[in-house]
Amino acid sequence: MTYLKRATSAIALFTAMTVPAFADFQLSDRYTDTDGDLVADTPTDAADLIDPSTLIFAYTPVEDPAVYAEVWAGFLDHMSEVTGKKVQFFPVQSNAAQIEAMRAGRLHVAGFNTGSNPLAVACGGLRPFAMMAAKDGSFGYEMEIITYPGSGIEEIADLKGGQLAFTTETSNSGFKAPSAILKADFGMVAGTDFEPVFSGKHDNSILGVANKDYPAAAIANSVMARMIERDVVTVDQFKNLYTSQTFPTTGYGMAHNLTPELQEKVREAFFSFDWEGSALAEEFGKSGEEQFIEITFKKDWEVIRKIDDANGVSYNCQ
């Protein structure tokens, strides 16, 4: 399958950025963090700042980027009005490509999935500031390990000796969290107790289980909820084996070297957007999200950094 090839390429790209020993979270040497908030400081030298005429926006990789280009169109029009800039949607094919685009200065504003957020912060200079939430301010999703009815898998222990589909090694619910949970709670290690395969995206893993290409998969239930609402899959195609604690969802942020004035306008665009009747509300309301709320990487991503710790992950972005 072509998406398996893309996933393999993404993993290979980040092999040099991950090492098997854990160290305290730190940024690449190209960034500074004088205030200790764990994200890159905005440069103080005007020569190091950028003020592009066109802002490039990307949403975390999905199965059909064209669908989400339409979903985000109204929001990007709003951002254009607030910032006075043209805003262009950039359909990324992998977490690796998305992070590299920001690192290289080709991406200015983006939503990075939960697991790749720390890598985007450390290696790409992302400054996260927003996340989607329900009207009451609650937010997050759960990692689920799913199978299909009739697979012969009744509980987690039945995964031994078989396959389990992950998404990418940078995904929290698609790899990091299930790896840590399976090892800590069930004594099961990928490559020893079961065969890990990589689908590239949550959509692919969910469709893979629905079509019985994979016997089981670790996925984000918020993605599955939206796919069910769009009638891409149906509830009766799945059987739940495990549900995790709640994790923060996609974190939205911007490149660290945008001018302070432009950064403020980008923030304003997120928090002044009217969700009522929007395509964004229609799509993300399917998983209970109806507004943007302010977040900090240091506080709200602490649990994700702990999962990285449990998996022995460190970031080497030199």
**Which of residues 313 and 50 earns the better pLDDT score?**
50
Q: Per-residue pLDDT for 95 more than 90?
A: no
Rounded to an integer, what distance in angstroms lies between the CA atom of residue 163 and that of residue 142? 21
Same structural domain, 304 and 215: no
pLDDT at 183: 92
The answer to whether the beta carbons of residues 195 and 162 sit under 8 Å apart is yes
Q: 312 Cβ partners below 8 Å, 6+ apart?
A: 20, 21, 22
Same structural domain, 92 and 179: no
Q: Per-residue pLDDT for 53 more than 70?
A: yes
> pLDDT digit string (tens) for 285-307?
988 999 999 999 999 999 899 88
Same structural domain, 16 and 152: no
Residue with tokens 């702990």: 306
Same structural domain, 24 and 115: yes
Would you give the distance in Å from CA 230 to the centre of its chain?
Answer: 21
pLDDT average, residue stretch 208-228: 96
| Positive/negative CA dihedral, 75, 108, 299, 14 | positive
Compute how many other C-beta atoms are within 10 angstroms of the C-beta atom of residue 170: 29
Same structural domain, 230 and 270: no
pLDDT average, residue stretch 305-312: 84
Report in angstroms the alpha-carbon separations of 258 from 88, 91, 127, 255, 300.
16, 21, 10, 6, 23
In angstroms, the first-to-last Cα distance of the chain is 33
Q: Per-residue pLDDT for 11 more than 60?
A: no
Class of residue 69 by CB neighbours under 10 A (exposed 0-12, middle 13-18, buried 19+): middle
Give the tokens for residue 164. Answer: 């389990």
Rounded to an integer, what distance in angstroms lies between the CA atom of residue 180 and that of residue 223? 21
CA torsion angle for 299, 301, 305, 307 (degrees, to 10)?
A: 120
The answer to whether the beta carbons of residues 9 and 96 sit under 8 Å apart is yes
pLDDT average, residue stretch 22-50: 91
Same structural domain, 94 and 155: no
Q: Per-residue pLDDT for 10 more than 80?
A: no
Same structural domain, 132 and 209: no
Residue 124: enclosing H or E segment and its boundaries?
A: helix 117-124
Number of domains, the chain: 2
Rounded to an integer, what distance in angstroms lies between the CA atom of residue 129 and that of residue 40? 12
> Where among 202, 224, 247 does a domain terminate?
247
Same structural domain, 11 and 119: yes
Report in angstroms the alpha-carbon separations of 216 from 126, 141, 311.
33, 19, 21
Same structural domain, 128 and 183: no
Would you give the distance in Å from CA 151 to the centre of its chain?
Answer: 29
pLDDT at 6: 29
Rounded to an integer, what distance in angstroms lies between the CA atom of residue 224 and that of residue 241? 15
**Which of residues 317 and 174 earns the better pLDDT score?**
174
Compute how many other C-beta atoms are within 10 angstroms of the C-beta atom of residue 136: 9
pLDDT average, residue stretch 224-246: 95
> Where among 229, 247, 265 does a domain terminate?
247
> pLDDT digit string (tens) for 102-132?
999 999 999 999 999 999 999 999 999 999 9
Q: Which domain holds residue 292?
A: 2-138+249-315
Same structural domain, 229 and 293: no
> pLDDT digit string (tens) for 128-138?
999 999 999 99
Same structural domain, 261 and 308: yes
Give the tokens for residue 263. Answer: 């950064």
CATH code, 203: 3.40.190.10
SS3 category, 195: strand
Same structural domain, 134 and 146: no
> Where among 227, 247, 267 does a domain terminate?
247
pLDDT average, residue stretch 160-178: 94
